[in-house]
Amino acid sequence: MSVLDEIVEGVRADLAVRRKRVPEAVLRERAAAAGPPVDCVELLRAGPGPALIAEVKRASPSKGALARIGAPADLAAEYTAGGAAAVSVLTEQRCFGGSLDDLDAVRARVTAPVLRKDFVVGAYQLWEARAHGADLALLMVSVLAQPLLADLVALATEIGLTPLVEAHDEAEAERAVAAGARVVGINARNLRTLEVHRQTFARVAPHLPDGIVKVAESGVRGPFDVAGYATSGADAVLVGEALVRSPDPRATVAAFLAASRPAVVGG
């Protein structure tokens, strides 16, 4: 069993517990009362240079614990003060140490769009995301059969979420587009092996049609990597580990953004 398979198995087990505790009908009512979400498609490609999606990430299966995040809302506020266009919150519990409580805390603190990042396997989690105030939700091509992927893209859009559909290679990117994705994330980390290949975005992005928002995910060690993704045509870059490990997340976000901006010529 791959790492990804183990994660998804745990997600399904935890999901079964939450389903018993909170019926989907209740989530739908809470989603309706959550207020209007932000359509993030235009926001992520507004430019100049790529937008930055800054992630609240406590741990990962490849590195273990990354940082002690006592107040995820404070961290998110630092991100947005540094110029982050959106905040991603990992809510998977077993391998990433996240929770819906983290999502609630961030949503209550920042006005920027919030991404619920998890391993979505069904509609319940999309209603959950919206009920907890998310504006975007991650959908992974590698986790979902094509008919279900298309259904979840449609449902997310219908209830006001912007689906960020994640691919790892050309075939998955093609599936994302066929499912109706307007925002496609290209992840440099293979979650089946945990290996990172930083050239993945540059290889896969040209296969996406014009008009698709292209998000580079994983593999960011410093400003040079963000600049590299910008050069390869990224509309947005999602960064987690490099930010949560930073002693000054606000300044690090600002430095990443500065590295990705086109140089101003003249004087």
| Angle, helix 146-158 to helix 170-178, in steps of 10 degrees | 50
Per annotation, catalytic residue among 88, 217, 232, 241: 217
Q: Is 117 a catalytic residue?
A: yes
Per annotation, catalytic residue among 60, 92, 117, 142: 117
Per annotation, catalytic residue among 78, 128, 166, 172: 166
Per annotation, catalytic residue among 60, 88, 142, 218: 218
In whole angstroms, what is the distance from residue 261 CA to residue 47 CA?
A: 9
In whole angstroms, what is the distance from residue 20 CA to residue 42 CA?
A: 37
Encoded tokens for 134: 């998310």
Encoded tokens for 176: 């994302």
Helix (H) or strand (E) holding 137: strand 136-140
Q: Pick the closest to residue 4 from 60, 65, 64 (CA basis).
A: 60
Q: Is 217 a catalytic residue?
A: yes
Per annotation, catalytic residue among 57, 142, 172, 214: 57
Tell me if 156 sits within 8 A of 163, measured CB to CB.
Answer: yes
In whole angstroms, what is the distance from residue 137 CA to residue 31 CA?
A: 14
Encoded tokens for 257: 């953004």
Q: Is 187 a catalytic residue?
A: yes
Tell me if 241 sits within 8 A of 60, measured CB to CB.
Answer: yes
In whole angstroms, what is the distance from residue 58 CA to residue 6 CA?
A: 19
Specify the residue for token string 């010529």. Answer: 265
In whole angstroms, what is the distance from residue 22 CA to residue 38 CA?
A: 25
Per annotation, catalytic residue among 60, 142, 187, 232: 187
Q: Pick the closest to residue 116 from 94, 95, 132 (CA basis).
A: 132
Question: Any idea which residues carry the catalytic annotation?
Answer: 55, 57, 117, 166, 187, 217-218
